[in-house]
Structure 1
Amino acid sequence: MSARDVDAVVLVGGKGTRLRPLTLSAPKPMLPAAGVPFLAHLLSRIRAAGVRHVVLGTSYLAETFAAYFGDGSAFGLELEYVVETEPLGTGGAIRNVACRLRAEEVLVFNGDVLAGTDLNAVLHTHRATEADVTLHLVRVPDARAYGCVPTDSGGRVQAFLEKTPDPPTDQINAGCYVFRREVIDSIPTGRPVSVERETFPGLLAQGRRVSGHVDNAYWRDFGTPLDLVAGSADLVRGLAPSSALPGPTGPALVLPGAEVAPDAVLVGGSTVGAGAVVGAGARLDGALLFDGAVVGAGAVVEHSVLGKGARVAEGATVRGAVVGDHAVVGENCELRDGARLWPEVVLPAGSLRFSAGV
């Protein structure tokens, strides 16, 4: 059985509240990352693995997905969409799309994770261990901020543990699973269900086989604006794999229609969106500029994101911050340390903002 005999489900229904103000106008998976919607990178990996039929579980601003991806044919896929009308949790969202599934094996992805794991290797682990569900697990330096998943010497999952100050393992759930279809069909309908708190522990209690596929592949959760910035920069630099990148890897990606002054400095995996402008002597380091953003002469933007039509005026500095759509950072302003400027807000010339609640 090849990956062509497998369906894929991508869960993209969340509101992305931690990414506000960027997600006020677009769902998290549709935010630009290295020149295309983040979801395009995940779909490119699914296609590269040989999967062709993909079901998107949508909810918030659901219409934006079909407007961009259509039936998937332009991306070498067959895409279907199922809208979740009320929050159902991860398990409930998976069960909600079951009516569109055709295969007996189903790859399931959280739609806000950027990863480089070999999907066919995950499928091989699932089949070799005859698992009911297989989880992709990654090792992290500090697992205290995550739920951890210990496995035995044979790769069998032992437990699902919530965040703990003393985690027994460095392995965490990476947001990619392989399900037997019968397990999906057994998830209750019409109510919220958590796979981590209900479905997976229930399988363990029944003595069913839940396997872990552990690797050290690239992995990043796009939970915050600065995660988005860092992940986009990793894609541009080639640290995170994707065939959806609309240009060669390198220190920067400049999309068609952008204007960059000859003496501007672009490094660190920066992206300059279509129609964006970078002025004379400006410096971008790990910056993510959405379409139509403007960086004035001599301005500095480091490890930050500028929304559509946002403007950073001459001599201003933005470090580790977020500038919402059509917001303005005035001349010689400084915005940094997690500060967020909401859409259409103007930060007057010479202002300093270091807090996250701007």
Structure 2
Amino acid sequence: MKKRFCMTLDGELMNKLWRYIDGVKLKNRSQAVEFFIKLGIQNYRVERSALILCGGLGIKLRPLTFITPKPMLPIGYQPLLQYQIQYLKRYEFDRIILAVGYLQEQIIKYFSNGQKFDVKILYSFEKDPLDTGGAVKNAEELINGNFIALNGDIIFDKLDLDKLLSYHKEKGCVATLTLTKHKEPLRYGLVEVNEEGQIIKFVEKPSEAKSGLINAGIYAFSQEIFNYISKGKKVSLEKDVFPKLAEEKKLYGFIYDGYWRDVGVPEDYMEVHKDLLTGKLKLF
């Protein structure tokens, strides 16, 4: 289905385009413009950036995480982090930044520069734990434009990242949080949204649940997010940044109703393997 729109072109460029109208392959001006737009899209590739926060200590999963970083724990036959990277690649995120800290050598040795996974992998190093917000700020110089960020201890299978980014751009906000429902919502950051999808209240791990929606740990950020985080300091997205953005009406929610689990807690880590065996979770 074609749609009509108007555009203004430089006169010299317009004359060059018209020269390619041969009455056979390109029969008119509209076909000429469409042809060269398609050609330009095919040959012009902008890197899409994604940041994975994988520097945590994984305290809840000890003793497993005494010698293995949490994102490298196996889900089925490969590390959780590998599934996340493969998922991002499906949506053409070819520039992936790993925010590493605890036992980072294992992650770097396994993934290296990402060549064998057909992506470019860069590393943002934390000398001391910076929490979720500090880790995002620490990677600022490696990221251009809008980007996706996600926690390195979650698994999901049907989230459309293209729609998430499009929604984020449409709202023109600083941050868009993926929201989902969970049987134990008090374990997570609860949110309240209005009819437009704007998050009007964000409470990290509250004492009572007024909304069934939780923060799923998958975000779309604009470059402006970096202005809300102090460099080199321990800053929490959930406790320090998101509540402020909600107050300023710059925080939106994107509803996701597919499979999601927090692998960072023992119960969910065990359940994920059951879900794999029963077919509830389908990975590639």
TM-score bin, normalised by smaller chain:
0.7 to 0.9
Match of 2:176 among 114, 117, 134: 134
Percent identity between the two aligned chains? 32
- 1:137–1:214: 8 Å Cα contact kept in structure 2? yes
Question: Which residue in 1 is equivalent to 2:54?
Answer: 12
SS in 1 for 2:164: helix
What SS class does the counterpart of residue 197 from structure 1 fall into?
helix
Query: Which runs of 5 or more structure 1 residues have no equivalent in the other structure?
Result: 244-358
8 Å contact kept, 2:198–2:249:
no
Aligned partners of 1:180 and 1:73: how far apart in 2? 27
Superposition pairs of residues 115-264 of structure 1, within 5 angstroms: 115-116=156-157, 117-205=159-247, 207-243=248-284
What is the deviation of 1:231? 1.3
Task: Name whichever structure is richer in helix by fraction.
Answer: 2
* 1:142-169 CA distance string (max 9 Å, x none): 4223220110011000111133343221
Q: How many aligned positions are there?
A: 241
SS in 1 for 2:202: coil
Task: Select which of 137, 142, 146 maps to 1:95.
Answer: 137
Question: Which of 29, 36, 46 matches 2:71?
Answer: 29
Unaligned runs of 5+ in 2: 1-40
Give yes or no for contact 2:199–2:249 (8 Å, CA) kept in 1.
no
Q: Secondary structure of 1:159's match?
A: strand
CA distance in 2, matches of 1:222, 1:137: 17
**Secondary structure at 1:40's aligned position in 2?**
helix
Relative to the length of structure 2, the TM-score reads 0.79
Give me the whole-angstrom Cα distance separating, in 2, the residues matched to 1:3 and 1:86: 36
Compute the displacement of 1:185 (Å). Answer: 4.5
Q: Secondary structure at the match of 1:190?
A: coil
Flag the 1:63–1:142 CA change in 2: closer, same or farther, 3 A: closer
Choose 73-82 or 185-194, whichever is displaced more: 185-194
Distance in 2 (CA, whole Å) between partners of 1:110 and 1:97 is 14
Q: Which amino acid aligns with 1:40?
A: Q
Q: Deviations over 1:70-97 (max 9, x none)?
A: 1111112100112101111110010011
Shift of 1:4: 5.3
CA contact (8 A) 1:132 1:208 kept: no
Q: Which has the larger share of strand?
A: 1
Matching of residues 303-318 of structure 1 within 5 Å: none
Q: In 1, Cα distance between the equivalents of 2:215 and 2:276?
A: 22
Asked if 2 retains the 8 angstrom alpha-carbon contact of 1:58 and 1:83, the reply is yes
Q: Distance in 2 between matches of 1:186 and 1:225?
A: 33
> Which one-letter code corresponds to 2:108 in the other structure?
A
- Aligned partner of 1:44 in structure 2 is 86
CA offsets 1:86-139 (integer angstroms, 9 cap, x no match) = 1111100100111211x2111001000011222122112112212211000001
- Give the RMSD, CA atoms, in angstroms: 2.0
Distance in 2 of aligned mates of 1:181 and 1:241? 33
Give how far 1:233 is off.
3.4
Q: What is the Cα deviation at residue 208 of structure 1? A: 4.1
The AA in structure 2 aligned to 1:45 is: Y
